[in-house]
């Protein structure tokens, strides 16, 4: 092969690479203990801790403030709409701020869904969830310290199954709500979408924040809207009353099921990996 042929072949390879529609990162290893030696992991854990702390402080303070204001007069305060905006807008801000450091999960269900989708190792998944839960407890602790009397008398922002709804209905609401959120996360961060659409960084956290907003509008009357086990745990730990713990399992089991279904739906159906695997199996069988 002549030198000219090598240059032409190299240019052709470079052009083919440039025209590649997108590049999918390889699946994350299940156990990657080498991460424990990297500062980037601990920086991400700090970011998740702080983001979840801020999220719980703002959102639970909004809930307590609304209940306190509406107690005196029913039509005062931000209302359910304002509470939903508080949760959704805060997530939008925090995902925008921390997305480049930790991915901006701020939710064990999101982290677990990404683990199911092979985007995270088991080590990072467990440490993220621990950091998020600790941040949630600290965030609600700040609310309780500042708003002690209304916090204790108005339910502490804890998630409970509302009167008139069954445990099964509440579980279904948490599953569907978390599915919508995690499905949005996968869609917004899909490298195929990033390659196809003009990439504007603010567009990633925007649909995620809106997903949180619309799910809260739908499920606040049912469960107070969990869809985030750390949010539910932080409020339950600080309020620490029977009603907060009675059906607490719903706010873990529901989100984890919803996140799993969303991850599998995106991976196997929307990205067509089930069809690709079936096609590969058929082509292999034909050549045997």
**Which tens digits make up the pLDDT trace of 145-195?**
999 889 989 999 999 999 999 999 999 999 999 999 999 999 988 877 665
- Band of residue 93 on the pLDDT scale cut at 50, 70, 90: very high
pLDDT tens, position by position, 22-48: 677 788 888 888 889 999 999 999 999
Q: What is the CATH number of domain 35-269?
A: 1.20.1080.10
Q: For residue 216, is pLDDT > 70?
A: yes
What pTM did the predictor assign?
Answer: 0.85
Q: Over the chain, what HEC string results?
A: CCHHHHHHHHHHHHHHHHHCCCCCCCCCCCCCHHHHHCHHHHHHHHHHHHHHHHHHHHHHHHHHHHHHHHHHCCCCCCHHHHHHHHHHHHHHHHHHHHHHHHCCCCCHHHHHHHHHCCCCCHHHHHHHHHHHHHHHHHHHHHHHHHCHHHHHHCHHHCCCCCCCCCHHHHHHHHHHHHHHHHHHHHHHCCHHHHHHCCCCHHHCHHHHHHHHHHHHHHHHHHHCCCCCHHHHHHHHHHHCCHHHHHCCCHHHHHHHHHHHHHHHHHHHHHCCHHHHHHHHHHHHHHHC
Computed over every residue of the chain, the mean pLDDT equals 86
């Amino acid at each position: 092969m002549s030198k000219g042929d090598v240059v032409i072949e190299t240019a052709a390879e470079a052009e083919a690479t440039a025209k590649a529609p997108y590049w999918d990162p390889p699946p994350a290893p299940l156990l990657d203990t080498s991460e424990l030696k990297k500062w980037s992991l601990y920086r991400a854990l700090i970011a998740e801790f702080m983001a979840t702390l801020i999220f719980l402080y703002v959102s639970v303070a909004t809930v307590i403030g609304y209940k306190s204001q509406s107690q005196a007069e029913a039509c005062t305060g931000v209302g359910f709409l304002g509470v939903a905006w508080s949760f959704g807008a805060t997530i939008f801000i925090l995902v925008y701020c921390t997305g480049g450091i930790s991915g901006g999960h701020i939710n064990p269900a999101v982290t677990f869904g990404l683990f199911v989708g092979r985007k995270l190792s088991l080590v990072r998944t467990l440490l993220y969830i621990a950091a998020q839960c600790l941040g949630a407890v600290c965030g609600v602790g700040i609310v309780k310290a500042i708003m002690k009397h209304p916090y204790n008398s108005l339910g502490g922002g804890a998630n409970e199954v509302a009167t008139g709804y069954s445990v099964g209905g509440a579980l279904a609401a948490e599953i569907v709500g978390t599915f919508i959120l995690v499905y949005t996360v996968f869609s917004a961060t899909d490298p195929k979408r990033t390659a196809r659409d003009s990439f504007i960084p603010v567009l990633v956290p925007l649909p995620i924040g809106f997903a949180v907003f619309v799910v809260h509008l739908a499920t606040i009357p049912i469960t107070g809207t969990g869809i985030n086990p750390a949010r539910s745990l932080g409020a339950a730990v600080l309020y620490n009353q029977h009603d907060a713990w009675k059906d607490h399992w719903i706010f873990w089991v529901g989100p984890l099921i919803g996140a799993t279904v969303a991850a599998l739906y995106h991976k196997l159906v929307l990205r067509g990996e089930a069809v690709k695997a079936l096609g590969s199996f058929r082509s292999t069988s034909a050549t045997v």
